[in-house]
Structure 1
Amino acid sequence: MGKIAFLFAGQGSQYPGMTKDLFESVPEVHDFYGVAEAIRPGTLTQMFSGSEDELRKTENTQPCLFLADLAGALALIRNGIKPDAVAGFSLGEVVALTASGILTKQDAFKLVCKRGKFMQKSAEAVTGSMFAVMRMDNDELKELCKEYEVYPVNFNCPGQTVVSGEKSRMEKFKEKLTELKARFVELPVGGAFHTPYMEGAAENLKKELKSGKIYNLNQPEIPLYANKTAEPYSNDEEEMISTISDQVKSSVKWEETLNNMARDGVDTFIECGPGKALSGFVKRTVEGAKIYNVYNMESLQKVIEELGKDA
């Protein structure tokens, strides 16, 4: 068997009740959820019994989904399955900071709480939306985005790119896609993420990380492939800070990330967190990859049965 990568889901995959059985069954998950609840009271109520609308609000989505993603990794590691590399889609990259050893779990959770608030503030300043566009030539799509002043931001896999922008422009853009008979899906997120509209959030994150009093950035123990570059994080602290903060306003080079992981010997991908979007992207990008998901006890057991003997 080749290398194993843990992948961490991003906003849009959240749902009420996510990972409740992992919380109840895995001691490491239960214990850290308690730590997180002490840092941000009300988080577990939002996760387990909050409404979809409440969970969709960025400042709530991010801490809740952080925990749901992390739960899968903690449960796998408890059972002897460890990653050789990690990557996270957008918000998931903050979870990957923990899995790679760059940040402690507590520091990463504190950071994601701030990140959610900063991005919520930027989202409220400019109402935005995001669409996943399928089966359109990337060059054609980029030209269309320029014409309508919206942004191609997440390059998910062959044949799927997410476009983000200010809502009224996105509505006109949607009309054009409909006219062209292009297939698209609106994403359940609360802002124009990964665009210049997130500049304020990026600057606030940079200031937060540079304060020197809150976060201790460590050297990565395993490669963390960055959304911004599709390559492993640098060991230089200044570059790490720029990569973490700029990510919110930069494109997510996910297809390239997956190809680079495969280039470096990864052949087994385990998506940690709710939903199966990242698994679908792997399937359409990396030929012959082994793909698994961990989002509850049943899915965890399947992975243990398949991989535990080789761990």
Structure 2
Amino acid sequence: MKAYIFPGQGAQFTGMGLDLYENSPLAQELFEKANSILGFSITDVMFEGTPEELKQTKVTQPAIFLHSVILAKVLGNSFQPEMVAGHSLGELSALVAAEVLSFEDGLKLVSQRAMAMQKACEAQASTMAAVLGLEDELVEQVCNDIEGVVVAANYNCPGQLVISGEVSAIEKACEVLTEKGARRALVLPVGGAFHSPMMEPAREELAAAIGATAFNEPTCPVYQNVPAKAVTNAEEIKENLIAQLTAPVKWTQSIQAMIADGGTEFVEVGPGKVLQGLMRKIDRSVAASGAIFEG
């Protein structure tokens, strides 16, 4: 079975989406529609902005979503997903690909999600750290033993787990994890503690926006970050999407479930090659490539 996977925050780069805009009338139309919905010219920032400008949460999340979703749309009839998944923000791209959300509603939710997360980040100092070379269970145990908020946030691949929480608790956890033999325990340059209890204000805000949005039954199974299994019910998809802001991204487990359910060919749709790299670390025997627009 053919699986399409969609990247999350961190995959952005200057010039992203420009080839689509210049070579596809459909892409151009969708990008212009996005400028209108967002109320600012996101295409200017995507095509010509500095890395600093692209790093603003209100830009990054819609930019990655637009690159992924518009690329999927211009692939035309060759885009026939039998299963989809998205890493964190990428889950919204996956939901548009599976026709759960319209392009317009997906973009509005991404924008609202970005703003709500930005607000939660500004309310309280928090951060994330990447931990390499330790078993997940050991990292979880250390997090449990540290005073303050620190939790496992992104299960990216075996031996790579991102933790999230209060700055002091993250710093302490990094010390302890290094002592326990972590190859690296490195604080990341992110705006806040995503996928942790510190995103609760954002979760509440997003819940209201999701509640007011029409969700359709998906055209193929969606492997969501929270349950890490196939979901085909629109109401369940809604609940998992709301829970995702404060719950961990179970990416390793999601990919393993897709492979167990018959996924044999994985195609990353969107900027960068991060997910293809993680695929090789999760299961080298499965084919992984990037979607290419021939123009």
What TM-score does the superposition give when structure 1 sets the normalisation length?
0.88
Query: Aligned equivalents of 2:74 and 2:273: distance in 1?
Result: 18
Moved more, 279-288 or 247-256: 279-288
Task: Specify the SS of the correspondent of 1:103.
Answer: coil
Moved more, 50-59 or 179-188: 179-188
Which residue in 1 is equivalent to 2:288? Answer: 291
**One-letter code aligned to 1:242:** E
Deviation at 1:250, TM superposition (A): 0.7
Unaligned 5+ segments in structure 2 are: none
Deviation at 1:189, TM superposition (A): 2.9
Indicate which of 263, 267, 281 corresponds to 1:270. Answer: 267
Query: Aligned equivalents of 2:10 and 2:187: distance in 1?
Result: 10
Deviation per CA, 1:271-295: give whole Å up to 9, x if none.
111221111111111242111113x
- CA 188–83 in structure 1, closer or farther in 2 if over 3 Å, else same: farther
Which residue in 2 is equivalent to 1:54? Answer: 53
Query: Aligned equivalents of 1:88 and 1:153: distance in 2?
Result: 15
Indicate if the aligned counterparts of 2:222 and 2:232 stay in contact, CA closer than 8 A: no
Query: Aligned equivalents of 1:174 and 1:248: distance in 2?
Result: 23
Deviation at 1:171, TM superposition (A): 2.5
Deviation per CA, 1:72-95: give whole Å up to 9, x if none.
31233x262321111000000011
Query: Aligned equivalents of 2:3 and 2:186: distance in 1?
Result: 28
Query: Aligned equivalents of 2:32 and 2:142: distance in 1?
Result: 47
Query: Aligned equivalents of 1:188 and 1:75: distance in 2?
Result: 33
Deviation per CA, 1:235-260: give whole Å up to 9, x if none.
152x3321111111111111111011
What TM-score does the superposition give when structure 2 sets the normalisation length?
0.92
Indicate if the aligned counterparts of 1:198 and 1:248 stay in contact, CA closer than 8 A: yes
Mapping for residues 24-173 of structure 1, pairs under 5 Å: 24-40=22-38, 41-76=40-75, 78=76, 80-148=78-146, 149=148, 150-173=150-173
Deviation at 1:32, TM superposition (A): 0.8
Indicate if the aligned counterparts of 2:154 and 2:162 stay in contact, CA closer than 8 A: yes
Query: Aligned equivalents of 2:254 and 2:56: distance in 1?
Result: 28
Query: Aligned equivalents of 2:164 and 2:284: distance in 1?
Result: 29
- The total of aligned residue pairs comes to 291
Mapping for residues 224-239 of structure 1, pairs under 5 Å: 224-237=222-235, 239=236
Query: Aligned equivalents of 2:224 and 2:125: distance in 1?
Result: 27
Indicate if the aligned counterparts of 1:195 and 1:249 stay in contact, CA closer than 8 A: yes
Indicate if the aligned counterparts of 1:71 and 1:272 stay in contact, CA closer than 8 A: no
**One-letter code aligned to 1:69:** S
Unaligned 5+ segments in structure 1 are: 305-311
- CA 181–240 in structure 1, closer or farther in 2 if over 3 Å, else same: closer
Identity of aligned residues (%): 38
- CA 208–141 in structure 1, closer or farther in 2 if over 3 Å, else same: same
**One-letter code aligned to 1:291:** A
